Amino acid sequence: MPGIAETNQELIKHLLNNAPTGALSEIFIISAIEAYSISVLEAGIPDEENTIISMEAWNHTAAWMLQQFKAQWGEPVPATAAMEKPVEVETDVDK
């Protein structure tokens, strides 16, 4: 089945470089990653692991993403700036 790109990295580059709304796609993608990372951390790690991916590793990835955004922009980061009640996310993940 043909697609837009052969790899996920190529797909992200395609989304960033070819969106009809231009640079708006950047903040859209960043905000989506941020909002999803927050929802993962708020949900916590479920007791049962019926998944192929470790939920602990999934949460670690979410925390790392938010830490990188905070290092880039400080606070608030894009998606939380638009929320009525921004979510405070504390992490102990190394950069």
**Cα–Cα distance between 39 and 53 in angstroms, integer?**
17
Residue 2 in any domain: the answer is: no
C-alpha distance from residue 32 to each of 14, 36, 49, 79 (Å) = 16, 6, 25, 8
pLDDT confidence tier of residue 1, bands split at 50, 70 and 90: low
Q: Is residue 75 a part of any domain in this protein?
A: yes
Quick check: 58 and 84 in contact, CB under 8 A? Answer: no
User: How distant, in Å, are the alpha carbons of 28, 38, 81 from that of 35?
Assistant: 10, 5, 11
Look at the block and give the residue holding tokens 């790392």. Answer: 64
pLDDT at residue 50, as a whole number:
67
**pLDDT tens digits, residue range 12-69?**
999 999 999 998 899 899 999 999 999 988 888 776 666 788 888 888 899 899 988 8
Containing domain of residue 49, as a range? Answer: 8-81
Alpha carbon of residue 1 to chain centroid: 27
Domain count along the chain: 1
Residue 72 falls inside a structural domain: yes
Residue 88 lies in a domain: no
